[in-house]
Amino acid sequence: MADKTILVIEDNEMNMKLMRAVLKTGHYRMLEAVDAETGLRLVREHHPDLILMDIQLPGMDGLSATKIIKADPDLKDIPIFALTGFAMESDKEKASDIGFAGYIVKPFSVKGLLATLADCFNPHRTEN
């Protein structure tokens, strides 16, 4: 999917390194931000096709950044997936209420993440 750009907002370098490898495997272009403020700037400048947003970030958290994106008429339709170590059902509900398209719990399966992305970009695809 070389024509799709994914913005990853993640402050942990090991997680970012893993995301680079996974997205390269899936043939996605990747933009990177280590904090919400940089991520917001990149969203406005590049209008990525999808955002993978860590919830716990230095400074502004991912929930607040997502609220800002979803309040902007030019950006609100960009799907945002929460990347988090929290797996509580109440956290998933809160993320959904804010406007996240999905919830990816770390550690995640590489195959599962690639399938989630493929489903997002091609919701009518079928498994072979």
Sequence-distant (6+) residues with CB within 8 A of 125 are 118, 119
What percent of the chain stands above pLDDT 70? 89
Strand partners, 32: 8
Q: Is the peptide bond before 107 cis (omega within 30 degrees of 0)?
A: yes
Record the pTM.
0.90
pLDDT in tens, 60-117: 999 999 999 999 999 999 999 998 876 666 667 777 788 999 888 888 889 999 999 9
C-alpha–C-alpha distance, residues 35 and 9, integer Å: 6
Whether the predicted pLDDT of 29 surpasses 60: yes
CA dihedral sign, ordered 8, 5, 114, 92:
positive
Q: How many residues would you count in the chain?
A: 128
Instruction: Just give the CATH number of 5-118.
Output: 3.40.50.2300
**Confidence label for 125 from pLDDT (cuts 50, 70 and 90):** low
